[in-house]
Amino acid sequence: MALRRRVERVLSRVERPARYIDSEWGSVRDRDATHRTVLAYPDTYEIGQSNQALAILYARINAKTGFSAERTYVPWVDMSSEMRGEKIPLFSLESVTPVAEFDIVGITLPYELTYTNILELLDLAGIPLRASDRTDRHPLVVGGGPCAYNPEPLAPFFDAIVIGEGEDVVLDVVRSHRDARDAGLSRQDTLASLARIPGVYVPSLYEVDGEGGLRAADPAPSVVVKRVVSDLGAHSPPVCGIVPFMDVVHDRVGVEVFRGCTRGCRFCQAGMVYRPVRERRADDIVRDVMAGLAHTGYDEVSLTSLSTTDHSQIEEVVRRLTNRLDGTGVSVSLPSLRVDAFSVEMARLVSAGRTSGLTLAPEAGTQRMRDVINKNVTEDELITTITHAFKSGWRRVKLYFMIGLPTETDADIEEIGHLVSRVLACARAEVKPDERGSVRIAVSVSTLVPKAHTPFQWLGQVSLDEVRRRQQVLRSTMPRKGVDLAWHDAEVSFLEGVMARGGRELADAIEAAWRAGARFDAWTERFDLRVWLDAFSSAGVDPEAVAGRSYGAHDALPWDHISCGVSRTYLWRELERAQRGASTEDCTFSVCTGCDVCTGLGVDTVLGGDRRGTG
Ligand code: SF4
């Protein structure tokens, strides 16, 4: 029986069958392509379908004659068990083709807790988990995405991993693979040709040396430098191609307004690895919003970036959009706001602002701590912003904080609770007495994971027991009335820390955890640290030591063979400045602060106008 028919027969037995059916509006099926890629997101359809990077790659490949891209996601546990029972292999949505029959399987690496899902994808597809066990008849398994900046825990499972922005390199990879295949090259020679493409890391060509670093074999470069797009305007993003049949996490048109962020928060990996800042032009943004809405029929558009109100033309963009969309019922949202009154004003101008609540990230309770992490925001600014917001009609605000920060003391943590009390009092003072009951402050607290390619990369993560103790310290000073306190689970942060900070030794543990049933670890109801602790122990790995290890200035780091362009010298200098509590300015507001990314990559900061320099 045809695979499509067999899939359809099991759909009535699983929850949300719309996850597994094809022909959504905007999806592409190219029957004439001679080289076929399937793009996989290692989580459910509704999470993966919202991913903008995959949408870009999908559009880029499908726009090239002779090449096609389809999609696949990880079946939820009910579906995977039906598929195993009925011997249905993992298939693509567009043509219900077994994933193992594609030329390339491209898997995005969005988050450390999706690692077991990657093995689930490969296993359901019938592809050997380890690259070393694959032969010429297997597809090439290629990774890419945020977690590629420390690829080592996953290295043995991938034939190649792309570092950096995918727009250009994705075409280099598919062309190189097509040429190698057509020339009849062996798998090994194919991998060697891929290793010559800038930004492509072929793990099998690197060996762990005695110092904890990696040694490259010819023709692989000793350091793989990320790919970067110099002119975002030259790459028109997809007109938000696909409209799903079911609710997905971001059910709206997403338009990227700029890439990169040079605010320089020292904990933030995205702020370092996506440098330099490249703004898109106001005309292009407005054009893409209107085209996306017309194509999809969505009634919401989100202007995305790491800090949207930093865009030098954001006022113009917002004004033009509100004029064009007036009376259409379409709302505009700015998902990432700075703690400043200007951001609140911008959010107020777009229609979704008041209803959705406001989200601000002071990150720490004391000025000393905010200086350590380079969060250039003062308490006065926060209070002014809150005053402005509640005066403008908001009744709810969400505040993000972090604990486990370098040099943090109990007094710093207690001050988070005191700061929230002051925010609450200020918010209540701005509303009429009979409305004060509706004032809510949601406080969300996460634990620092010192990530690769940040100034904190040399520092170990605070231990699990210590995080739990610090959470209690915070709880004791947090006001209860009017405040909803939520934690990022300490055990989850711990596992993130192990995966973010470890090397190749973790691959065996990931495989052992998957074999013991770990799947969808990012889903609270599925996460079980005990399974992981057993897996670490069977692989001979001490997870506390991996996450908690601190490094010296000259020690080899597990990700030293990967470069995001920001120099090690700059990161170390930023670590020293953190320890002195000295802040560093944003180069798009002042002068170059010497991270070396522009010179190193030959790509300049691109601004459409002058940025506002206020915090
Ligand atoms: S090299 Fe200078 S201008 Fe370029 S991103 Fe780094 S700090 Fe900014």
Selection from 177, 142, 179 nearest residue 159 by Cα: 142
**Res 492: pLDDT:** 97
Atom of ligand 1 nearest to the CA of 600: 1
**Measured torsion, CA atoms of residues 346, 284, 601, 164, in degrees rounded to the nearest 10:** 80
Q: Are 277 and 607 in contact (CB under 8 A)?
A: yes
Q: Whose CA is nearest to atom 6 of ligand 1?
A: 595
Q: Are 350 and 289 in contact (CB under 8 A)?
A: no
**Residue 587, ligand 1, Cβ within 6 A:** yes
**Residue 346, ligand 1, Cβ within 6 A:** no
Query: Which stretches within 350-439 are classed as H helix?
Result: 353-356, 367-372, 379-391, 410-429
Residues whose CB is less than 8 angstroms from the CB of residue 21 and which lie 6 or more positions away in sequence, other chains included:
11, 93, 245
**Res 342: pLDDT:** 80
Q: Are 75 and 83 in contact (CB under 8 A)?
A: yes
Selection from 517, 551, 556, 552 nearest residue 534 by Cα: 517
Neighbours of 570 (CB within 10 A): 18
Sign of the C-alpha dihedral computed for residues 259, 492, 16 and 98 taken in this order: positive
Pocket test for ligand 1, best of 590, 595, 604, 606 (most atoms within 8 A of CB): 595
**Res 614: pLDDT:** 53
Tokens of 474: 């915070």
**Measured torsion, CA atoms of residues 112, 246, 31, 109, in degrees rounded to the nearest 10:** -10
**Res 613: pLDDT:** 61
Tokens of 17: 């069958």
Q: Does the pTM exceed 0.85?
A: yes
Please give the distance, rounded to the nearest whole angstrom, from the Cα atom of residue 340 to the centre of ligand 1.
Answer: 23
**Residue 567, ligand 1, Cβ within 6 A:** no
Q: Are 124 and 140 in contact (CB under 8 A)?
A: no
SS in 3 state form for 415-437? HHHHHHHHHHHHHHHCCCHHHHH
Please give the distance, rounded to the nearest whole angstrom, from the Cα atom of residue 326 to the centre of ligand 1.
Answer: 39
pLDDT, one tens digit per residue, over 247-303 is 888 888 999 999 999 999 999 999 999 999 999 999 999 999 999 999 999 999 999
From CA 463, how far away is CA 455, in angstroms rounded?
Answer: 19
**Res 239: pLDDT:** 59
SS3 (DSSP) at 482: coil
Atom of ligand 1 nearest to the CA of 588: 8
Q: Are 139 and 102 in contact (CB under 8 A)?
A: yes
SS3 (DSSP) at 44: coil
E strands of 187-252, at which residues?
Answer: 200-201, 206-208, 214-216, 224-225
Atom of ligand 1 nearest to the CA of 587: 8
Please give the distance, rounded to the nearest whole angstrom, from the Cα atom of residue 595 to the centre of ligand 1.
Answer: 5
Which string of DSSP letters, residue by residue, matches 100-154?
A: GGSSEEEEE---GGGHHHHHHHHHHHT--SSGGG--TTSPEEEEESGGGGS-GGG
Pocket test for ligand 1, best of 574, 596, 598 (most atoms within 8 A of CB): 598
Atom of ligand 1 nearest to the CA of 595: 6
Tokens of 137: 């008849």
From CA 412, how far away is CA 410, in angstroms rounded?
Answer: 5
Query: Is 208 exposed, middle or buried, given 0-12, 13-18 or 19+ CB atoms closer than 10 A?
Result: middle
Helix (H) or strand (E) holding 485, with range, is strand 483-487
Q: Whose CA is nearest to atom 2 of ligand 1?
A: 592
Q: Are 318 and 350 in contact (CB under 8 A)?
A: yes
Pocket test for ligand 1, best of 258, 272, 275 (most atoms within 8 A of CB): 275
Phi, psi of 552 (to 5 degrees): -90, 170
pLDDT, one tens digit per residue, over 458-480 is 999 999 999 999 999 999 999 99
Sites in the chain below the pLDDT cut of 50: 353, 615
Residues whose CB is less than 8 angstroms from the CB of residue 294 and which lie 6 or more positions away in sequence, other chains included:
none
Angle, vertex CA 148, rays to CA 143 and CA 152, nearest 5: 95
**Residue 498, ligand 1, Cβ within 6 A:** no
Helices 3-11 and 77-85 pack at an angle, to 10 degrees, of 130
